[in-house]
Amino acid sequence: MSSSPRTLTRSGVGLRLPHIEEAVATRPSAGWFEIHPENFLANPHATELLEQLAADYPISVHTVGLSVGSAHGVDLAHLQRLQRLIDRIDPVLVSGHLAWSTHQGEYLNDLLPLPYTDETLAIVARHVRQVQDGLARRLLIENPSCYVGCAGSTMTEVEFLNELVTRTGCQLLCDVSNVYLSAHNLDYDARAYLDGLPAAAIGELHLGGFTVEPDDAAPGREVIIDTHADRVAPPAWELYAYALARFGPKPTLIEWDNDIPSLNKLLDEAAIADEVARLAVSREADAVAR
Ligand SMILES: [Fe+2]
């Protein structure tokens, strides 16, 4: 299917392997699907099923293994594997994380935080340009979920992302749930964070469930963990409405990666996102008309 991001007017859902056969067999009423390419690179059967879906649905590729923050460089073999999958399914969006997850050729099963410094910015910008040149596509970079700040940072995450956009021409994938939980964990203002992002560069929004736990390091406080194991929480919906008022309508995706529910429950969550977006846009229109 040949699509542009403008066709993503309904919310999409993250498509995980347990649902792919059902999605192919039932062709549900879904706006679009986002996949993690790493689930498909060594799974030819799943890739064939994905190609069938790509004929009927816009597909977004959200890589978790690019590691643009790695000081040791982008894994060119992984980039080539990604390119081959992209050639097969012609995704409407390609995104990755502001994080590092490889070290000396070893893949770590985590998206690890970066210090926001000029040196890190130069490294990440070089790698984002390298990926964009290699794929001949613009990359979207996602803001991380944060639990601690890096003591060596010399700029804020928002300043870092703005400069990354300026240096590379990349777009941003704003994970609204990540903004909410990072703001709680690091004690900053989530709305001020959204206010500081470059609205024109926002190409996609994410929403996912999180888990609130006692903070062992700070008795009496709670830490919010980015588990993607539940429905989107009410304060994240409120922040999503704020993001839409700030950025305008954007392709929105529901992420659910642990305790994965039925496909219908995922699609129901996407329908809630559509309704929140509809209300946010009509509120904006009313405000403009007054
Ligand atoms: Fe996300």
Using one digit for the tens of pLDDT, what is the confidence trace for 118-155? Answer: 999 999 999 999 999 999 999 999 999 888 887 899 99
The answer to whether residues 100 and 112 touch, using CB atoms and an 8 Å cutoff, is yes
Q: What's the Cα-to-Cα distance from 196 to each of 54, 157, 160, 191, 285, rounded to whole Å?
A: 35, 10, 11, 9, 23
- Count CB atoms within 10 A of the CB of residue 214: 11
Q: Which two tokens stand for residue 102?
A: 């490889």
Ligand 1 center–CA 287 separation, angstroms: 30
- Measured in Å, residue 16 CA sits from the centre of ligand 1 at 14
Return the beta strands (E) in 98-214 as ranges: 100-103, 106-112, 140-142, 171-175, 202-208, 211-214
> How much distance in Å is there from the Cα of 20 to the middle of ligand 1?
20
208: Cβ–Cβ under 8 A, 6 or more apart, which residues? 175, 177, 226, 228, 232, 254, 255, 256, 257
pLDDT, residue 135, reads 95
d(CA 26, CA 164): 41
Say how many Å lie between the CA of residue 207 and the centre of ligand 1.
Answer: 7
pLDDT for the residue numbered 141: 97
CA of 35 to the centre of ligand 1 (A): 12
User: Which structure tokens are listed for 196?
Assistant: 């500081």
Per-residue pLDDT of the chain (290 residues; tens, 9 = 90+): 556 777 789 999 999 999 999 999 999 999 999 999 999 999 999 999 999 999 999 999 999 888 788 888 888 999 999 999 999 999 999 999 998 766 666 666 677 788 899 999 999 999 999 999 999 999 999 999 888 887 899 999 999 999 999 999 999 999 999 999 999 999 999 999 999 999 999 999 999 999 999 988 888 899 999 999 999 999 999 999 999 999 999 999 999 999 999 999 999 999 999 999 999 888 877 877 77
pTM over 0.85: yes
Q: Which residues surround ligand 1, an ion (CB under 5 A)?
A: 175, 206
pLDDT of 102 reads 65
| Through-space distance between the first and last CA atoms of the chain, rounded to whole angstroms | 41
Q: Which two tokens stand for residue 90?
A: 């012609």
Phi, psi of 35 (to 5 degrees): -125, 155
Supply the pLDDT for residue 105.
Answer: 66
Distance from the alpha carbon of residue 288 to the mean position of ligand 1, in angstroms: 31
Amino acid 99: pLDDT: 80
Tallying the residues shown for the chain, one arrives at 290
Distance from the alpha carbon of residue 184 to the mean position of ligand 1, in angstroms: 17
Give the distance (Å) from ligand 1 centre to CA of residue 229. 12
Distance 286 CA to ligand 1 centre (A): 31
Q: Which two tokens stand for residue 33?
A: 């699907």
Ligand 1 centroid–CA 201 distance in Å is: 16
